[in-house]
Amino acid sequence: MNGVEVWLDEHEVGWLKPADVVPATTGARRRLSLAYLERWTSEVLAFPLAPSLPMPPRGGPGSESATDAVLAFFDHLLPADEARRRIFAALGLAPDDSYGALRLMGRDLPGAVRLIADGLQRPAGPVQRAIPRDELSERIRHRDERPFAVWEGQVRGALGGARDQLGLYVERDGGWYFVDGPQMASTHVLKPAPDADGPDDALFNEFFCMRLAARVGLDVAPVQWQRVPELVLVVERVDRQRLEDGRVRRLHAINACQALGVPPSDQDEVTFAQLFSLLAHSPTPLVDSRALLRWTMFRQLIGCEGTGGTDLSFFVDHGGLRVAPAHGFTLGDGQARAFDAQAWAGFARDCDIAPRSITLELKRLCELVRAQAEGWLVSSRARCRSP
């Protein structure tokens, strides 16, 4: 097979391998090939990794696919931009070697996906590596000298996206760990300030917006401040479920770009109509439509740019897609153009939503945000400044 095993939590579902290099207008580019296992597609509760990566007919033979959507899906699991360049360099990989990075970093990825490569040692039992606060503080302060996710020559806790962040396991007593092994995975995401020498404004921005979203009734991932002594944001992973005995179950969650088959390079081109088209895969479209509408409106009210295709997440199972708790809300810099009445009318038309529903929901949400924002701003700043 000469590939890596693709698992969804404890279920082996297929395999991934490099495909032939194909020409592109700017030079050759690498592709990936995905095949589902017949024993997975025969399962009653089987489901695809994403709508963009459909399975063959139930009970039919597995089929190999090397479409652009395969590379797009798996590229979203990896760090992006400068974080990607530095981590790939630390691993001795070319900037476009997504397969090589997935092979080395695939045991704790976003969602339920695990990639198991032949020839790489697998721990027989749970492995925990403590992250002392003083060591973490030193790594935060010296991120310009070595990639934040490279510890002791290994990539640990690296996640998708362009920001420095770590996936870590938080014990019930508050201890932080890197983990590996059967039924173990990170439970939280730790985010330091984007600039090692800069202020904490970006962290305060995200903390304020996430808590504000929760206060006005949106379903969001829990967030909290921690000091090491540098200020960090700790976000609970919604794609993880901690069991009573300490083991962790992975829940399959994907972003909207993965669902649509859109690569990271084209994520800014995703339209609202495309986002709402994904509701066709929902078993509860009325519930998810309201959640997605409120998510879109809240982003508009706080000045977020674009449609947020990488910030919108869906749970995936045999029933289809369900909107997952939100994450990554931040106040815009004032450059984004706010929707006016004409824009909302076009939005209603493109997304097939009754204009009256938009009017009522927008009025209600505006009132809630206005009522909650000022008081929460004062109290959250006080929390940020407290030692």
> Beta strand pairing status for 240-242 and 231-236?
unpaired
- The more confidently predicted of residues 318 and 157 is 318
What is the distance between the alpha carbons of residues 137 and 143, in angstroms, rounded to a whole number? 10
Kindly indicate the confidence band of residue 196, based on its pLDDT and cuts at 50, 70 and 90: low
Q: What is the DSSP letter of 299?
A: H
pLDDT for 199: 62
Please compute the mean of the pLDDT values over residues 139-148 and round it to a whole number: 88
**DSSP output for 82-98:** HHHHHHHHHTT--TT-H
* CB distance 190 to 230 below 8 Å: no
220 CA to centre of own chain: 13
pLDDT for 233: 94
pLDDT for 188: 96
Say whether 189 sits in a helix, a strand or coil.
strand
Please compute the mean of the pLDDT values over residues 159-183 and round it to a whole number: 88
Element (H, E) at 214: helix 201-215
Lowest mean pLDDT of 9-18, 59-68, 113-122, name the range: 59-68
Element (H, E) at 345: helix 341-351
Residues whose CB is less than 8 angstroms from the CB of residue 327 and which lie 6 or more positions away in sequence, other chains included: 210, 220, 221, 235, 238, 311, 313
Q: How far are the Cα atoms of 5, 92, 340, 358 from residue 343, in angstroms, in the given order? A: 46, 47, 5, 12
Percent of residues, the chain, with pLDDT higher than 90: 60
What is the distance between the alpha carbons of residues 149 and 167, in angstroms, rounded to a whole number? 9
- The more confidently predicted of residues 32 and 328 is 32
pLDDT for 59: 54
pLDDT at 310 over 50: yes
Kindly indicate the confidence band of residue 17, based on its pLDDT and cuts at 50, 70 and 90: very high
* CB distance 113 to 8 below 8 Å: yes
pLDDT at 100 over 60: yes
pLDDT at 122 over 80: no
Q: Amino acid identity, residue 308? A: G
Kindly indicate the confidence band of residue 367, based on its pLDDT and cuts at 50, 70 and 90: very high
Give the tens place of pLDDT for each residue, 21-68.
655 444 456 789 999 999 999 999 999 999 999 998 765 555 788 899
Kindly indicate the confidence band of residue 119, based on its pLDDT and cuts at 50, 70 and 90: low
pLDDT for 27: 47
What is the distance between the alpha carbons of residues 362 and 289, in angstroms, rounded to a whole number? 14
pLDDT for 31: 87
- The more confidently predicted of residues 374 and 73 is 73
Kindly indicate the confidence band of residue 383, based on its pLDDT and cuts at 50, 70 and 90: low
What is the distance between the alpha carbons of residues 18 and 9, in angstroms, rounded to a whole number? 23
Structure tokens at 381: 């700043």
Most confident of 40-44, 125-129, 201-205: 40-44
Average of per-residue pLDDT values in the chain: 88
* Residue 117, phi then psi, degrees to nearest 5: -100, 140
